[in-house]
Structure 1
Amino acid sequence: MELNDSVETLSGVGPKRLDGLHHLGIFTIEDLLSHFPLRYSDLATKLPSQVGSGEKVTFKGIVSSEPVLARYGYRKTRINFRLLIEHENVAVTFFNQPWVQDKIHLGEEVAVYGTYEQRRQTLMGIRILAKDSMDELQATYPASKEIPQKTLKVLIEQALGKYKTLLVDLIPESIRIRYQLLSRVEMMFGMHVPKDGIQAQAARRTASFEEFFLFQMRIQLLKMTDQANHGRSIKFDNNKLKKFIQTLPFELTNAQKKVVNEIVADLRRPKHMNRLLQGDVGSGKTVVAALAMYAAVSAGMQAALMAPTEILAQQHAKTLSQFFDVKDVRIELLTGAMKAGPRRQILTDLENGEIDILIGTHALIQTDIAFHNLGLAVIDEQHRFGVKQRAKLREIGMNPDILAMTATPIPRTLAITAYGEMDVSVIDQLPAGRRPIKTEWLRNNEFDNAIKFIQKQLESGAQAYVVTPLIEESETLDVQNAHAVYEDLMQYFAPKYQVGLLHGRLSNQEKDDVMAAFKQNEFQVLVATTVIEVGVDVPNSSVMLILDADRFGLAQLHQLRGRVGRGQRQSYTFLISDPKTQFGIERMEAMVQTTNGFVLAQKDLELRGAGDVLGNRQSGLPEFKVGDPVNDLIMMETAQQEAIEMVNTLNWADQSENLQLSQFLSETMERYRNFD
């Protein structure tokens, strides 16, 4: 017998029931035992005086009136009777359960589970309890029509009895003692058949920690394997790097200096770097990436920077060209729109090692790309690329060190789950002199006031963005759309000021032309969709007006707000919104209360959940069965530290230990198959 035995080994599991279990994701005994309850019903009997209104409770008493069955409507029934509990009579009602009448007899004792309404002293019955199920917690499982609650409970109890001796502890004893965790056998029984609430709580705490610990063990082992198998030392010229820093037209912030030191130390180590650089909008990530790439170039290697859009790639090319002396460092831009002749020349020079830094979009990971000696790959706004795309960049470049950047601040919860295999550097300081952006939430009837404010800003020589959720009119959503707003604002500001339009349906060349015109101040107002969300830099723009702002997530709103405040002017963001839900109201209030992207990221996570914040397709987020990484963050961090310590103290020369560990992972990690 083994825990990976098929559930069909249990009695009562035929082909039809097996199919039903498979639909619930239950294939093995381990799957069945790990199919934990969603909640528990407390079936312990209480007195009416001990219960508040609306609580679910079990009352036990003597039936003091004949049950009356009434039929009404189409196949609808109601049963009424009274229950004498000590000296109190409680009225009990069951709807649409006519069979209950056979279980209720005048003068006999009965236990009823239901919802109590204190003011009217009535119990809305849910079920009549059997005598052997009273005074206990009853588990409620994720079930289905094919596999109802009762069937699951019978199968789980059968599996517990038959396989309990195989439930070996997966958490080392020293860790269990340190955090007062149950053994795996105790945890399984406490989860499925708890004696009381205290045992159920201890079991759930242990199950959560076990899940987090196993997940973190795998992450740390993947990280160690990656570093060991793909690493090489990039021996950069430190003197050249120092001189380059001295040529910069500004002083690096302390936060920038700290992360530069972390990155170049990684480059020098003979281990593979896989580092995430996160920093709020305008914190200066690009110059940090430039220093890292220069370090690689000074070691005789090449560097690449991959951006999600052509606009952003071109912007990076321009910025880096300003940083570097073209005599020392050759930078080239490669995009999908490039003509065949120039593209062939770039590819030839790249393979010959004549290009030091290549900047581009997805064009960098085409099959005909060949680097001469790629040492460092920088991925900007890395969450915009899928896992396979990031892996492809590594494959074509002979496993270069990876520096991923994001301007979407990531709360600690996601940093140790979605990005657990990466080292994280954080720029948590804005450059000196940067003025905070003033943010206001306005109702729709205040739109005209916002437009008048924009007009005053235009008169002072500034520019403005107006962002809408949709490109064209929608019959299903009552929201502003880019074309209608564009036409209205053209009429409003004519003839003195020009209005541009930018959206995702334009060709890449058209987008580039519009952005170039806006940067040259040929347009003073740019009506746009969220295509401007990431990276676009127009220092002269001082106003961001976002229509129907409650349609956007907090991270998206914060990114949009970051398009202004990049020059010397005081900048403003106006959120136009009449949210219909508390959820929408909370988002607007959060945007007004703080400009701290990390605070907003945590709030976004709490309001929307991890999958919506990063997108499940891109983020590879694991789905935990018991643990909640948002609400159990401290537990997750503790499990991470314990896993790091355990992996670091393993005797890697001991083949038997390695074999044990390999077996341990293969047996326990199948539940995270989606994480790959």
Structure 2
Amino acid sequence: MKLTDSVQFLKGVGPKSVENFHKLGIFTVQDLLLYFPFRYEDFASRSVFELVDGEKATIIGTVVTPANVQYYGFKRNRLSFKIKEGEAVVAVSFFNQPYLADKVEVGKEIAVYGKWEQAKQQLMGMKVVAQVSSPETGSNVNSRYGVDGLEPVYHLTAGMKQSQLVKVIHQVFESDLLSELPENLPEFLIKKYRLMNRQEAVLAMHFPEDMEAHKQALRRVKFEELFMFQLKLQALKNKEKSGRAGLEVVFEQGEIDQKISELPFELTGAQLSALSEILTDMKSPYHMNRLLQGDVGSGKTVVASLAMYAACLANFQAAIMVPTEILARQHFANLKALFPELQISLLVSGLKVAERREILADLVSGHTHMVVGTHALIQEGVDFYNLGLVITDEQHRFGVNQRKILREKGQNPDVLIMTATPIPRTLAITAFGDMDVSIIDELPKGRQPITTRWVKHEQFSEVLSWIKADVAKDSQVYFISPLIEESETLDLKNAEALFAELNEYFGLFAKIGLLHGKMKNDEKDQIMQEFKAKKLDILVSTTVIEVGVDVPNATIMVIMDADRFGISQLHQLRGRVGRGTKKSYAILVANPNSDSGKQRMKIMTETQNGFILAEEDLKMRGSGDIFGLRQSGLPEFIAADLVNDYNILEVARKEAVEIFKNADEFPDLIAQVIVDGGFD
């Protein structure tokens, strides 16, 4: 047999069971070897004197009473007998397994695995691990795959048994096919990180001699998985650079520096560093594919604006696509203020026909230098004269295809993706590994930290009285009403009830507005503009309150039933205040029932750093659906875990980058990665 042969040729794998193997993704003998268990049952024998209540263990003893089966109820029974281990006599019970009576013989030694019940001095049997003909002839319970070994437990599909799978895997090991499994890591990495070789690791993943052997095997397999994945990302990145000639955006750096000096504020070191990385990419002949991530309020927009300016200086057009009209209008106003000398257009749905026609004509003729738009930018009939830079803001709000359509409006323009959702570095280098990542992790000067407090519902009246005093000092306040079971109707009722309660409390003292998802875009826009223009003191909103909308005078954010939100959403909402120079507050009103709810409230009051919060969120929720990254093609790893194996991931990435830098030394490895990744 060969590793590439189908599992159907293995003994004990019939036509029916081969379908079950296929459901598990096992098609060949090699697939079977690499189908690792997810845990182990430890059948090492223990003395009853060492056990604590509730512990699972294997006890070896001599049977001292015959097996007795008692029947009660429909198909219910209990098998009981006693064994002697040293000086201790232990009662053993099995429920609904009467057939085990055949394995119980007085005077013979038996190994039983079960749960220890201290009070009854009884073992609730789960499995008869082994039988021995008699104590005198010696015990076979310490054989290779017996009591002293760790028995693997695999994920199965309906109609399969653990014993069947283990038997088939044994068969492959016994036929010595493992020796055909090729090593896939460079020798220098195995030595450098003291890794097991591949064949040893695969054997120890299935049948480790002890937990230390399993630990070393797991370390090797995790590194291999993450290293191979990072190699594929490097191959993809290299393909982007070599296969798709980018645009050389040539501009005068002095003009950019002049524009920076004219800004009404000073850029932070992190902003300047991110801008430098972006501009270097744009100048190069390679295609830029960069992710710009920055915490809430860190000033990503001005960095993106300066990149757009650089494109325009080089006689290219620049486009920025944002998820909502409110945000589009805000970007448009900011760009017009920054670059009064340029022709800037706003393309959103709902424009008058004549106005839209004029904007489209200006885009295709090259009269327009910059355009800000919503998804209206990617509609049919929107064409550019010479598109050189495409920016997508809050990229996770757009599908991959929407971003692709915008990119294809030009001749391979440079691409910059922005997100205000701090993605943990762990995920950024994995999910966006084919992109370069720039991070703005510093808040602009003059920004005061937002003080966050967690209060219970019983303290809400105190919160209202404190807010009343602050509104009297000209402060503006957001009240956020939570989403209930994702029902817009209930969501709206909830917001309306809060709106009514606040109107009753404040009366004529404060003007209160209501913003919710059922409103038309222009209605939402109007309410938001009124709030921005200080015509409203308090804004009650559902979660439609937009990321990035700037109201510098808003200093208090009250989030009702805050435990209904995830960490990242709470952090985004909190970022709506603290946009000016006044001291700002976020008040989380919640009576969480769960420990995770309490933990979320606690961590929100402890840090304002979005990256720390994102790491915590990742630890609490796992890497599955966090930030909607599943749509980015985040891989499912067999052994590796992106949160806990972050250090291995970093090392794997560093080594993969080095391999591609010295590609001539590793032609076979790179050729294999290119074929496996489908990049050939």
How far apart are 1:202 and its partner, in Å?
1.4
Counterpart secondary structure, 1:623: coil
Match of 1:661 among 641, 647, 670: 670
TM-score norm. by structure 1 comes to: 0.94
Q: Partner of 1:265 in structure 2?
A: 280
CA RMSD of aligned residues (A): 2.3
The amino acid across from 2:645 in the alignment is D
Shift of 1:36: 1.0
Structure 2 vs 1, CA of residues 2 and 391 (structure 1 numbering), >3 Å: closer, same or farther? Answer: farther
Deviates more, 1:283-292 or 1:156-165: 156-165
TM-superposed CA distance for 1:204, in Å, is 1.3
The range that moved more, 462-471 or 36-45, is 462-471
Quote the residue 1:208 is aligned against.
Answer: 222
Question: What CA distance in whole angstroms lies between the structure 2 residues aligned with 1:33 and 1:533?
Answer: 50
How much does 1:386 deviate? 2.0
Map 1:402-441 onto structure 2 (within 5 A).
Answer: 402-441=415-454
Instruction: Kindly provide the CA deviation profile for residues 23-60 of structure 1, in whole angstroms up to 9, marking residues without a partner as x.
Output: 22333333322221010111121212333433321111
1:297 and 2:302 equivalent? no
- Hey, what does 1:186 align to over in structure 2? 200
Paired residues for 1:503-514 under 5 Å: 503-514=516-527
- The answer to whether 1:166 aligns with 2:180 is yes
Hey, what's the Cα distance between the residues in 2 that align with 1:58 and 1:148?
21
Per-residue deviation, 1:665: 4.4
- 1:279 corresponding residue in structure 2: 294
Choose which of 544, 564, 585 in structure 2 pairs with 1:572. 585
Give the equivalent residue in structure 1 for 2:270: 255
> Does 2:511 correspond to 1:498?
yes
Map 1:134-173 to 2 at 5 A: 134-160=147-173, 161=175, 163-173=177-187
Partner of 1:177: 191
| 8 A contact 2:327–2:546 mirrored in 1 | no
Aligned to 2:28: 28
Gap change, CA 1:4 and 1:249, over 3 Å in 2: farther
Q: CA deviation at 1:284?
A: 0.9
Report the Cα offset of residue 426 of structure 1.
1.4
Aligned to 2:133: none
| Cα shift at 1:123 | 1.8
Whole-angstrom distance in 2 between the partners of 1:479 and 1:41: 51
State whether residues 471 and 483 of structure 1, in contact with CA within 8 Å, keep that contact through their aligned partners in structure 2: no
SS in 1 for 2:293: strand
The one-letter amino acid of 2:456's match is R
In the TM superposition, 1:228-377 aligns within 5 A as 228-230=242-244, 231-325=246-340, 327=341, 329-377=342-390
Distance 1:664 1:216 in 2: 10
Change (3 A) 1:456 1:332: same
2:624 & 2:459 partners in 1: Cα distance? 34
Find the aligned partners of 1:352 and 1:475 in 2 and give their Cα distance: 43
One-letter code of the match for 1:358?
V
Worse-superposed segment, 224-233 or 28-37: 28-37
- Supply the distance in 1 between the matched residues of 2:278 and 2:392 (Cα, whole angstroms): 14
- TM-score, normalisation: structure 2: 0.93
Cα distance between partner residues in 2 of 1:517 and 1:383: 29
1:177 partner SS? helix
What SS does the corresponding residue of 2:483 show, helix, strand or coil?
A: coil
Give the counterpart letter for 1:579 in structure 2. P
Alpha carbons 1:480, 1:548 under 8 Å: kept: no
Superposed displacement of residue 152, structure 1: 1.5
Counterpart amino acid of 2:258? K
SS in 2 for 1:317: helix
**Counterpart contact for 1:575–1:588, Cα < 8 Å:** yes
Q: List runs of 5+ in structure 1 lacking aligned partners.
A: none
CA deviation string 1:231-255 (max 9, x = no partner): 2321121111111111111111112
Decide whether aligned partners of structure 1 residues 474 and 446 sit closer, same or farther in structure 2, where only a CA change above 3 A counts.
farther
For the 8 Å contact 1:554–1:601, the answer to whether it is kept is: yes
Aligned to 2:210: 196
Aligned residue identity for 2:354: G
CA distance in 1, matches of 2:517, 2:484: 8
Deviation larger for 545-554 or 520-529: 520-529
Shift of 1:555: 0.5
1:164 and 1:149 map into 2 onto residues whose CA distance is 21
CA contact (8 A) 1:84 1:90 kept: yes
Cα distance 1:259–1:11, how it changes in 2: closer, same or farther (>3 A)? same
Between the aligned partners of 2:104 and 2:95, the Cα distance in structure 1 is 15
Q: Deviations over 1:216-271 (max 9, x none)?
A: 01011101111222323211211111111111111111121111111111111111
Match of 2:138 in 1: none
Aligned counterpart, 2:236 = 222
Deviation at residue 521 of structure 1 after TM alignment: 2.0
**Partner SS for 1:532:** coil
1:636 correspondence with 2:649: yes
- The CA deviation at 1:120 is 4.3
Q: Deviations over 1:388-410 (max 9, x none)?
A: 22222222222211111111112
Q: Deviations over 1:258-305 (max 9, x none)?
A: 111111111111111111111111111111111111111111111111
Give SS of 1:139's match: strand
CA distance in 1, matches of 2:450, 2:559: 14
Determine if contact 2:45/2:57 at 8 Å carries over to the other structure: yes
Distance 2:114 2:492 in 1: 45
How far, CA to CA, are the matches of 1:493 and 1:6 in structure 2? 74
1:308-335 deviations in whole A, cap 9, x for unaligned? 111111111111111112x3x1111111
Tell me the secondary structure at the aligned position of residue 261 of structure 2: helix
Instruction: Determine the C-alpha separation between the residues in 1 that align with 2:64 and 2:593.
Output: 49
Change (3 A) 1:303 1:204: same
5+ residue gaps, structure 2? 131-140
Distance 1:208 1:625 in 2: 8
Q: 1:478 to 1:235 in 2, by over 3 A?
A: closer
Query: What is the CA distance between 1:430 and its match in structure 2?
Result: 1.0
Per-residue deviation, residues 401-448 of structure 1 (Å, max 9, x unmatched): 111111111212111211111211111211112111111111111122
**Alpha-carbon spacing, 1:238–1:604, altered in 2? closer, same or farther (3 Å):** same
Distance 2:6 2:362 in 1: 58
Report the 3-state secondary structure (helix = DSSP H, G, I; strand = E; otherwise coil) of the residue aligned with 1:509: helix
Query: Aligned in 2, Cα 1:505/1:8: closer, same or farther, shift over 3 Å?
Result: farther
Q: Is 2:665 aligned against 1:613?
A: no
In 2: Cα distance, 1:31 partner to 1:479 partner: 52
Equivalent residue of 1:59, what SS? strand
Matches within 5 A, 1:462-473: 462-470=475-483
Aligned partner letter, 1:253:
T
Shift of 1:599: 1.0
1:517 to 1:305, Cα distance in 2 relative to 1, 3 A = same
In the alignment, the residues of structure 1 paired with residue 612 and residue 2 of structure 2 have an alpha-carbon distance, to the nearest angstrom, of 47
Once the 2 structures are TM-superposed, how far is the Cα of residue 382 of structure 1 from its aligned partner?
1.4
Identity, % of aligned positions? 48
Matches within 5 A, 1:486-565: 486-565=499-578
Q: Distance in 2 between matches of 1:609 and 1:15?
A: 38
**SS of the counterpart of 2:332?**
helix
Give the Cα separation in 1 of the matches to 2:255 and 2:489. 59
Contact 2:231 2:656 in 1 (8 A): yes
State whether residues 491 and 542 of structure 2, in contact with CA within 8 Å, keep that contact through their aligned partners in structure 1.
Answer: no
Contact 1:519 1:538 in 2 (8 A): yes
1:20 counterpart letter in structure 2: N
Worse overlay, 577-586 or 478-487: 478-487
Residue pair 2:60, 2:109 contacting (<8 A) in 1 also: yes
Question: Partner of 2:70 in structure 1?
Answer: 70
Q: 1:475 to 1:354 in 2, by over 3 A?
A: closer
